[in-house]
Amino acid sequence: METAEQLKELVKQKYSEIALQDKEINQSSCCGSGGCSTEVYNIMSDDYTTLEGYNPDADLGLGCGLPTQFAKIKKGNTVIDLGSGAGNDCFVARAEAGEDGRVIGIDFTPAMIEKSRANAVKLGFQNVEFRQGDIEHMPVSSNVADVIVSNCVLNLVPNKDGVFKEIFRVLKPGGHFSISDVVLIGNLPDALRKDAEMYAGCVSGAIQKEEYLDLIKANGFSNITIQKEKAITIPDDILKNYLNDTVLEEFKKGTTGIFSITVYAEKSKTCGCGTDCCN
């Protein structure tokens, strides 16, 4: 069984490949790094193209939601995007935050950082920056962000509790996050959960929906709200790589589900304790 560090290295390798591919390849792939299905499989069915700030060079077709649409970003806000990829959500957030705002993208894949920085230079943005780092240990000071967004990234991180602790640390008192992610309802068959390709493709790294929401609550957040939820359907020709016909039929008849959710939560202005509790 892979350790957390081995799984993270696997994800880094896969997303290094993805950074060099076309959006069309990523959208039609079950794992992001190669064509796995003869059926159309596009986990990212939300359309960014009508949003101000959208840049096609930064859109790799990898998300599972549209968190910036729900993030309540205001002019002058400092926004941090976790797992910023080629910069798509950062550039949309920048349009919301305006010239007086600040946007920081964090990604631990060097190829993605290189791509996003090149996009920012091409666009001439002075208030968008990209930092290489692990979102379990963000290269950001405490209490600096008004808003944190993330799109289909936390499910790839083994230590999700650590990420939510970091989100709480980095948000200003009164700040909030809007995160799109993949969660499960019911248990996936073991063959599907254990496969490394599916892990890097956003499914096997997902946890139960209630466990995900409990982690948010346990880390001190309030006003937890599901802003959007949609089912994700995996085509039969992908599932057949992992399940025999009998198990596949049982799987499709069961209550098991794979969902994309966009979750909003707030960090209290007072943190519920003394003046030093947010530091």
Phi, psi of 248 (to 5 degrees): -60, -45
Q: How confident is the model at residue 226 (pLDDT cuts 50, 70, 90)?
A: very high
Burial of residue 252 (CB within 10 Å: 0-12, 13-18, 19+) is exposed
Query: Cα(19)–Cα(25) distance, rounded to whole angstroms?
Result: 11
Residue ranges of domains in the chain: 4-266
Mean pLDDT of the chain: 82
Low-confidence winner among 30-34, 50-54, 63-67, 271-275 (lowest mean pLDDT): 30-34
Which of the pair, 20 or 75, is modelled with greater confidence?
75
Contact (CB, 8 A) for 256 and 188? yes
CATH superfamily of 4-266: Vaccinia Virus protein VP39 (3.40.50.150)
Secondary structure class of 23 (helix, strand, coil): helix
Strand 207-208 relative to strand 222-231, pairing: unpaired
CA distances from 112 to 15, 69, 83, 195, 200 (A): 8, 23, 9, 24, 15
- Checking if the pLDDT of 65 tops 50, the result is yes
Low-confidence winner among 5-9, 251-255, 268-272 (lowest mean pLDDT): 5-9
Which of the pair, 218 or 3, is modelled with greater confidence?
218
Strand 171-185 relative to strand 207-208, pairing: parallel
86-128 pLDDT, tens digit each: 899 999 999 999 999 999 999 998 999 999 999 999 999 999 9
Q: How confident is the model at residue 39 (pLDDT cuts 50, 70, 90)?
A: very low
- Checking if the pLDDT of 16 tops 60, the result is no
120-141 pLDDT, tens digit each: 999 999 999 999 999 999 999 9
- Checking if the pLDDT of 72 tops 60, the result is yes
Query: Cα(24)–Cα(126) distance, rounded to whole angstroms?
Result: 30
Looking at residue 38, what is its pLDDT? 45
154-163 pLDDT, tens digit each: 988 889 999 9
166-197 pLDDT, tens digit each: 999 999 999 999 999 989 888 777 777 766 55
Contact (CB, 8 A) for 105 and 81? yes
Looking at residue 28, what is its pLDDT? 44
Prediction pTM value: 0.82
Looking at residue 63, what is its pLDDT? 72
